[in-house]
Structure 1
């Protein structure tokens, strides 16, 4: 039986959802869709917000959540009882960071510290004892996934909170995330991961504060492949214990959190990212350690490609978007006319399908424009991040490739600098951005070469309705 949203559950259309034709049509979600509302549904949405009161409003709210058009209003959700959750902290040494984390939790929750075969076991045990945490020492190092699973097996509460040891949890973050479980279809929720202020910041930490791989932005979102938020990190993760099954894949030392999220989504479960809750993560601050971590993240691409071949593509393009991008990248005399023709045909096709919309071709033009921009930014990502070794070789032999890389570099830097507003000058931001992409891309290529498989490097050009 499908879990039902309770009466009183409040959702709000997110900022990416457009309301047109006097409230008769919604445009948004991921992938973008056009939803025509019946009169009863139109009356249920008041000022972009609606409350579940009966079967009809429940079905509408569930549809809006499932399509990514709306998000729960967290302040309107019932308060949560912290006694229903247990914190599991995997740790290997790092007694100073563990002490800082436990001190921030303040003894409000039951905590299980899983010592993953520390070199200095006594130091970890002393910190756990000082804070009254339960200690679970492991006889051998099993990695973060195995350590979390060992702690999960000890949990007797309905909810578990996984937290990495190099994190500080901000006040009310856990209670805010627990509120989301008023939705019985939700199995996992994660907070925003921000940088931890410590000492004197340098250009690396300032870049990470603005563009960390773990920071998924300011917008609440459902989490699933091919959406604005495709994954969440196990840096901090709250979950229903009975929904986790076998837990994390212990054979994975990187990407195990992405694998868990995608498995849950494949089962038809809901996963959410909630930036109203936040934690602080201790980012790497030296160049080699920072780039090494980025490359390490990249090495998770192939293991994920094996387990989730339909979800790991570096870019996802509709056929018309791919044609549009290729035409522009060709940089020939016919490039602009062909790209314009592709866009024009797409506008006509979308307009014909937008039945019941007051101005279908105006809407189709706007959606095609968004799609064209998305195709270009994904093309930039291929050149600068996922396929940069090929682009570097191409630059040695082709003026057109050099020109494309230069345009992509300038455009990507300007877009990201304007979006993130870092406490860093544009030149150092641009350098950090390219080093970030180079390190991650190197990790992806290394995993692909080691596995002798290009799966993690291939774009997805399949047609999806």
Structure 2
């Protein structure tokens, strides 16, 4: 018998996500999953209460970070498949079933939904969404909205040394192991940003850069090519902004580039 959404447990890491969780969890609940597990990262807001009110089982990562939260939720899942979902993602009706069908029929070891990023009305929210919609990274496999067999994820594992950039690290390990991963072009989910401020955007840049710095330290010469990614992405973004007569995005790409390299230096040192 073909697997169904009743064979899936959603694992949702969350930290101070009370504003994001209602829509995320309501959509998952409507998808008729086996269970929804929210792994709380020592939130100081009402994230745990919101999760319980939506029918989710709530666990704590005890401050050990995102990779451990995903490991814990996956271990606790009692179903054949897990759906790793960030709190800022919203699945539309039927999309979980469609993603599972594509994963199984395409013989993927893990398949991520495509992302349609949306930001707030302010400059930084709109700039982040614009970058995510137009950048090449939108085609890179990650863990934002990803379905996989539970045993595959447990066997592969998540590296706890990576508080950020763990999706890159996992993608590289899965490729080296000959596993098939991908990003769906038919199932595209809504991806929101938690805030619309420069401080939020800079934190994103620093975390991404830190993850790349850790990747370079961990992988040696194989990871060196990551050092050029922020500059290449910023140059591409600036060029496209000018070609499309949208110079308003140029300051964003300058901040993106500087923030990523600042984070990378921190990752190389630690």
- TM-score between the two structures when normalised by the length of structure 1: 0.51
Q: Please state how far the C-alpha of 1:116 moved relative to its aligned partner.
A: 2.5
Kindly indicate whether residue 36 of structure 2 is the aligned counterpart of residue 111 of structure 1.
yes
Q: Please state how far the C-alpha of 1:149 moved relative to its aligned partner.
A: 0.7
Matches of 1:307 and 1:185, distance apart in 2: 30
CA RMSD of aligned residues (A): 3.0
Matches of 1:438 and 1:169, distance apart in 2: 33
Kindly indicate whether residue 5 of structure 2 is the aligned counterpart of residue 159 of structure 1.
no
Q: Which whole-Å deviations, capped at 9, do the CAs of 1:407-436 have from their partners, x for residues lacking one?
A: x96x76333555xx6xxx622122222222
Q: Is the 8 A contact 1:145 1:252 kept in 2?
A: yes
Indicate how the Cα distance of structure 1 residues 275 and 185 shifts in structure 2: closer, same or farther if over 3 A, else same. Answer: closer
Q: Is the 8 A contact 2:115 2:189 kept in 1?
A: yes
| Higher fraction of helix | 2
Q: Which consecutive unaligned segments of at least 5 residues does structure 1 have?
A: 1-77, 219-228, 317-380, 387-407, 452-465
- Which residues in structure 2 correspond to 1:115-134 (within 5 Å)? 115-120=40-45, 123-134=46-57
Indicate how the Cα distance of structure 1 residues 216 and 412 shifts in structure 2: closer, same or farther if over 3 A, else same. Answer: closer
Matches of 2:165 and 2:77, distance apart in 1: 23
Indicate how the Cα distance of structure 1 residues 205 and 149 shifts in structure 2: closer, same or farther if over 3 A, else same. Answer: same
Q: Which whole-Å deviations, capped at 9, do the CAs of 1:320-377 have from their partners, x for residues lacking one?
A: xxxxxxxxxxxxxxxxxxxxxxxxxxxxxxxxxxxxxxxxxxxxxxxxxxxxxxxxxx
- Which residues in structure 2 correspond to 1:344-359 (within 5 Å)? none
Indicate how the Cα distance of structure 1 residues 416 and 179 shifts in structure 2: closer, same or farther if over 3 A, else same. Answer: farther
Matches of 1:149 and 1:191, distance apart in 2: 20
Kindly indicate whether residue 113 of structure 2 is the aligned counterpart of residue 204 of structure 1.
no
Q: Is the 8 A contact 2:27 2:90 kept in 1?
A: yes
Which among 178, 182, 192 is matched to residue 268 of structure 1?
178
Q: Please state how far the C-alpha of 1:311 moved relative to its aligned partner.
A: 4.2
Q: Which whole-Å deviations, capped at 9, do the CAs of 1:179-203 have from their partners, x for residues lacking one?
A: 22334742111122222355xx222
Task: Compare CA radii of gyration and give the structure with the larger one.
Answer: 1
Matches of 1:214 and 1:238, distance apart in 2: 24
- Which residues in structure 2 correspond to 1:56-135 (within 5 Å)? 81-107=4-30, 108-109=32-33, 110-120=35-45, 123-135=46-58
Matches of 1:279 and 1:271, distance apart in 2: 18
- Which residues in structure 2 correspond to 1:39-50 (within 5 Å)? none
Matches of 1:288 and 1:196, distance apart in 2: 18
Q: Please state how far the C-alpha of 1:96 moved relative to its aligned partner.
A: 2.5
Kindly indicate whether residue 269 of structure 2 is the aligned counterpart of residue 444 of structure 1.
no
Indicate how the Cα distance of structure 1 residues 94 and 315 shifts in structure 2: closer, same or farther if over 3 A, else same. Answer: closer
1:385 aligns with 231
- Which residues in structure 2 correspond to 1:17-416 (within 5 Å)? 81-107=4-30, 108-109=32-33, 110-120=35-45, 123-138=46-61, 140-183=62-105, 185-196=107-118, 198=120, 201-212=121-132, 216=136, 229=139, 231-244=140-153, 245=155, 247-283=157-193, 284-309=195-220, 311-314=222-225, 385=231, 413-415=238-240
Matches of 2:160 and 2:137, distance apart in 1: 29
Q: Is the 8 A contact 1:193 1:214 kept in 2?
A: no
Matches of 2:15 and 2:99, distance apart in 1: 26
Matches of 1:184 and 1:193, distance apart in 2: 19
Q: Please state how far the C-alpha of 1:111 moved relative to its aligned partner.
A: 0.5
Indicate how the Cα distance of structure 1 residues 178 and 273 shifts in structure 2: closer, same or farther if over 3 A, else same. Answer: same
Q: Please state how far the C-alpha of 1:162 moved relative to its aligned partner.
A: 0.8
Matches of 2:264 and 2:49, distance apart in 1: 39
**What secondary structure is seen at the aligned counterpart in 2 of 1:250?**
coil
**What secondary structure is seen at the aligned counterpart in 2 of 1:211?**
helix
- TM-score between the two structures when normalised by the length of structure 2: 0.84
Indicate how the Cα distance of structure 1 residues 213 and 197 shifts in structure 2: closer, same or farther if over 3 A, else same. Answer: closer
Q: Which consecutive unaligned segments of at least 5 residues does structure 2 have?
A: none
1:433 aligns with 253
Indicate how the Cα distance of structure 1 residues 238 and 309 shifts in structure 2: closer, same or farther if over 3 A, else same. Answer: farther
